[in-house]
Structure 1
Amino acid sequence: MSGARVPPEGDAAGAPARAGLLRRAVDVRAGELGALALSFAYFFALLCGYYVLRPIRDEMGISRGVDKLPVLFTGTFVAMAVASPLFGWLASRWPRHRLITWAYHFFALDLVLFCALWKLELGKGWVPFAFYVWAAVYNLFVTSVFWSFMTDVFTSEQGKRLFGFISAGGGLGALAGPLVTSWLARPLGGANLLLASALLLEVSVACVVLLERWARAGAARRGAAATADREQAVGGTVWSGIRPVLASPYLLASALYILLLTVANTFLYFQQAHLVAAATSDRGARTALFARIDLVVNVCTLLLQTLVTGQVLKRLGVAVGLGIAPALTAAGYAVLGVSPALVVLAPFQGLRRAAQYAILRPSRELLFTVVSREERYKSKNFIDTVVFRGGDMLSGWLYAGLAGLGLGVAGTSWVSVPLSLVWLALGVYLGREQRRRAGAAG
């Protein structure tokens, strides 16, 4: 397996004292503190910027009616299907750190353009839908690239110790984002919040640059070959990220795991949209409700990331980490099937999404610490974007079809229970295979 890794030496003189404070929360070791702090800040800025946008996106998504959501999901999938080969082409030619920084610059420029359209009141008929699709593409691409970079910097053993704390940086950012939106939406206006998000994205770029310098310093201590390796492009062809997914049972199972994750996410998202739309027709109230749900989810996520994730991955393993969210989903859907109400869905959504972001996400990223660099950047990106949004699209139309047959929130919940159990079985298989591969790699 190729790829430079963070070395266990060479931190600054004050690192032992700082690391001693961090060890109360995370098992950080000598030489890892700089990368850990930068990674934490990177993920904080990235998710804070996205969660500033998310309540705006969600309200725009239902502004023309919940029945339009499958169309938006289809548009998102088409956008992903176009963007993923382009990303593969760029990854074949550019060094990883340059690819990441320019991709983030591109998305920041997009936010400035959306801000201008909003302020000039241009494209009122299509801008809300375009922004919804763009935000969905943006979210998956920037977070997928983040975790690809993390799995390229840290080993599987380091990831089990550190990814939970790094995820807490994202959890804290996800907590701060809705608060920023709640506090500043009225005095600044939604358009200026887009500029705030763009600024946070540029902070992420600065973290990438500093983290790459740190990694290069470690590579230099290992020799000229390691240094040259960090300057190389990922290589391969535009489509080389797809072929391994079809050929490898491990990557194919990872893709199926994501597909079933999207079914759970999409069904619950549609159920939430229906129940919220039924609860109020006021757009401001709906945006505030979405923001409050996000806030509850992110508080729970941060607590789990800080106190639970690292212990689960280090002591219980990846299989348990991948199985917790599917098990909660199956149980929650069974309860929602009996009592299909917003008062039941809101805590279910909060607990399930918290488990997904705090435990499932870092567990899933560990799957890619035991694959090749090309699979890490290209196959992972294909799974995280095209498969994910393709699953959203298929799940959206499946939900619409079931609703057309007369299945409401209760009926679709019972359909989701057996699918969640299959999802659980896939998680157990992937966790065991990851442990086998990590052991074989030494």
Structure 2
Amino acid sequence: MSSLIPAALRKDAAATMATLAFFFVLTSYYIVRPVRDQLGGAVGSSQLPLFYAVTFVVMLLLMPVFGTLVARFQRRRLLGWSYSFFVACLLAFIPVFMAQDRLGARAIGSVFYVWVSVFNLFVVSLFWSFMADVFRERRAREIFPVIAVGGSAGAIFGPMLTSALVGLVGVAPLLFVSAVMLTIALFLLLRISVQQCAQCEDAEAPIGGSPWAGAKEFFSRPFLRYMTILMLLGDGVGTLAYALTADYVKAHIVTAAARTDFYTHIDWAANTLVVFLQLTLSRQLLVRRGAMWTLVLPQIVNAVLLAIVMIGGHAELRFFGYGVPLLALLMVGTRGFMYGMTAPASNSLYTRVPRETRYKGKNFVETLVWRFGDLVVTSGVSGLTKLGAGLSGITLIGVVGSAIAAWTARKAATSPDLAPEEHRTLPQALDNQARS
């Protein structure tokens, strides 16, 4: 049995609890994600700029609040209050979905779509900031792909649980299940914090500084500027795929149940790809070659997938008698490589920056900047469509963006303001891989 457990987890309670915690975090998120996505599919990409604009404004308002919490309160309190807030929100949405038929998809979507986006970015960003605080850079390269696999398992389990329960209990009770999962994740993270605090009291101390330090860090640190550009371009491709797929769903899939099923299958396929990459290529590259190629390769894959869609358009591929749109493959591929390779690599780089950058700077890039990019991309797709641009022209722009993202990824991984990398000898890396 022990041979089935990765070597990175053996005799490391913090790593094991972190992997379980991320499993429950993403299970919680992926229970509600298909419900959110079907609301977007019901209205098409024309309404996505509105959803993302509201999300961006909410992020802008929350950024100084988050910065104040990071500056003034201990890590345990920050985790406890943030996660508890989102648990309370999940419970508050239950009566809203009980009245879904009266309120309508657009009315609920204007609130719930925005809230789920904020929930995902803040909860996940805070989780990885905490991980970068707990594990050193060399250890992070070994353990982060394994922790990410735990999250990906939750990302697969969440849609499966949603699919199994929604027909039995309806939508509203699913929010309660999601709240329970997030509560379990919080309990595990607090246990890690208590254990780590006993070893290093400084890590529990409030970070201090200005609530706006995240934005200030952007102007003072080349690394954060590179990560910002990479976020805008790299995730922009995923947002582009999402917007184009929303138009496809609106045109070809009529019922809410069918749309939810379509997005559930996309989630399952994407997260299966994420797990495969995390267990194979990502960890191999991170341990042996460091973060650079693990950041660059997904951008090259994005360019190839966009080129295929540019040539094939709305064509479908046949798998086992089922037609799969090329746009769905683009969405699966971009998301799979984003979370299967880019995320573990970028998170490992944040172990080489000061604590204030890990929390405030990282949160600034992965919340406010991310949603600003979503707003720009969805508005651009909507505007280009109204001007008569076709699928080929829009995807060609994405190919160019992916090429720039590949160059930016290389610059981010070699940024001069990163702390020196903790080198490992190749025999040691190979031995650890063999034992895992």
Same fold (TM over 0.5): yes
**Partner residue in 1 for 2:149:** 168
Residue 213 of structure 2 aligns to a residue whose secondary structure is: coil
Q: Contact between 1:28 and 1:161, CA under 8 Å: does it hold in 2?
A: no
Moved more, 278-287 or 356-365: 278-287
Is 2:239 aligned against 1:266? Answer: yes
Q: Contact between 1:309 and 1:359, CA under 8 Å: does it hold in 2?
A: yes
**Partner residue in 2 for 1:195:** 176
Q: How does 1:6-405 map to 2 (within 5 A)?
A: 22=5, 25-28=6-9, 33-120=12-99, 123-124=103-104, 126-219=107-200, 227=201, 229-341=202-314, 343-405=325-387
Cα deviation for residue 393 of structure 1 reads 0.7
Aligned counterparts of 1:21 and 1:280: Cα–Cα separation in 2: 42
In 2 relative to 1, CA 114–436 (structure 1 residues): closer, same or farther, beyond 3 Å?
closer
Cα deviation for residue 87 of structure 1 reads 0.6
Aligned counterparts of 1:109 and 1:39: Cα–Cα separation in 2: 23
What does the per-residue CA deviation read over 1:187-224, in whole Å, with 9 as the maximum and x for residues that have no partner? 011100011000101001111111112212322xxxxx
Aligned counterparts of 1:198 and 1:439: Cα–Cα separation in 2: 39
What 5-or-longer segments of structure 2 have no aligned partner?
A: 317-324, 425-436
Q: Contact between 2:197 and 2:204, CA under 8 Å: does it hold in 1?
A: no
**Partner residue in 1 for 2:431:** none
Amino acid at match of 1:146: F
Cα deviation for residue 436 of structure 1 reads 6.3
What is the aligned-residue RMSD (CA, Å)? 2.0
Aligned counterparts of 1:291 and 1:298: Cα–Cα separation in 2: 11
Q: Contact between 1:264 and 1:416, CA under 8 Å: does it hold in 2?
A: yes
Amino acid at match of 2:387: L
Amino acid at match of 2:240: F
Q: Contact between 2:19 and 2:149, CA under 8 Å: does it hold in 1?
A: yes
**Partner residue in 2 for 1:14:** none
Aligned counterparts of 1:166 and 1:208: Cα–Cα separation in 2: 13
Which of 408, 411, 417 is residue 399 of structure 2 equivalent to? 417
Aligned counterparts of 1:26 and 1:264: Cα–Cα separation in 2: 35
Aligned counterparts of 2:271 and 2:308: Cα–Cα separation in 1: 22
What 5-or-longer segments of structure 1 have no aligned partner?
A: 1-16, 220-226
Aligned counterparts of 1:318 and 1:351: Cα–Cα separation in 2: 20
**Partner residue in 1 for 2:319:** none
Q: Contact between 1:56 and 1:287, CA under 8 Å: does it hold in 2?
A: yes
Amino acid at match of 2:291: V
In 2 relative to 1, CA 287–434 (structure 1 residues): closer, same or farther, beyond 3 Å?
farther
Cα deviation for residue 62 of structure 1 reads 3.0
Amino acid at match of 1:246: F
Aligned counterparts of 1:43 and 1:148: Cα–Cα separation in 2: 13
Aligned counterparts of 1:302 and 1:52: Cα–Cα separation in 2: 18
Moved more, 125-134 or 37-46: 125-134
Cα deviation for residue 434 of structure 1 reads 7.5
What does the per-residue CA deviation read over 1:221-274, in whole Å, with 9 as the maximum and x for residues that have no partner? xxxxxx2x1331111111111111112212111111111123212211111111
Amino acid at match of 2:299: P
Residue 438 of structure 1 aligns to a residue whose secondary structure is: coil
Cα deviation for residue 382 of structure 1 reads 0.5
Cα deviation for residue 129 of structure 1 reads 1.7
Aligned counterparts of 1:363 and 1:84: Cα–Cα separation in 2: 24
Q: Which runs of 4+ in 1 moved over 6 A?
A: none
Q: Contact between 2:138 and 2:423, CA under 8 Å: does it hold in 1?
A: no
In 2 relative to 1, CA 249–231 (structure 1 residues): closer, same or farther, beyond 3 Å?
closer
Residue 235 of structure 1 aligns to a residue whose secondary structure is: coil
TM-score, normalization by structure 1: 0.89
Aligned counterparts of 1:393 and 1:26: Cα–Cα separation in 2: 42
Aligned counterparts of 1:347 and 1:379: Cα–Cα separation in 2: 33
Q: Contact between 2:76 and 2:193, CA under 8 Å: does it hold in 1?
A: yes
Cα deviation for residue 431 of structure 1 reads 1.6
Aligned counterparts of 1:67 and 1:294: Cα–Cα separation in 2: 22
Amino acid at match of 1:320: W
In 2 relative to 1, CA 435–167 (structure 1 residues): closer, same or farther, beyond 3 Å?
farther
Q: Percent identity?
A: 31
Amino acid at match of 1:358: G
Give aligned pairs, total. 413
What does the per-residue CA deviation read over 1:344-396, in whole Å, with 9 as the maximum and x for residues that have no partner? 22223222211111111010111211111111100110001000001111111
Residue 237 of structure 1 aligns to a residue whose secondary structure is: coil
Residue 415 of structure 2 aligns to a residue whose secondary structure is: helix
Which of 404, 411, 422 is residue 429 of structure 1 equivalent to? 411
In 2 relative to 1, CA 434–306 (structure 1 residues): closer, same or farther, beyond 3 Å?
farther
Cα deviation for residue 402 of structure 1 reads 1.4
Q: Contact between 2:137 and 2:422, CA under 8 Å: does it hold in 1?
A: no
What does the per-residue CA deviation read over 1:12-42, in whole Å, with 9 as the maximum and x for residues that have no partner? xxxxx95x653xx344575xx1011101001
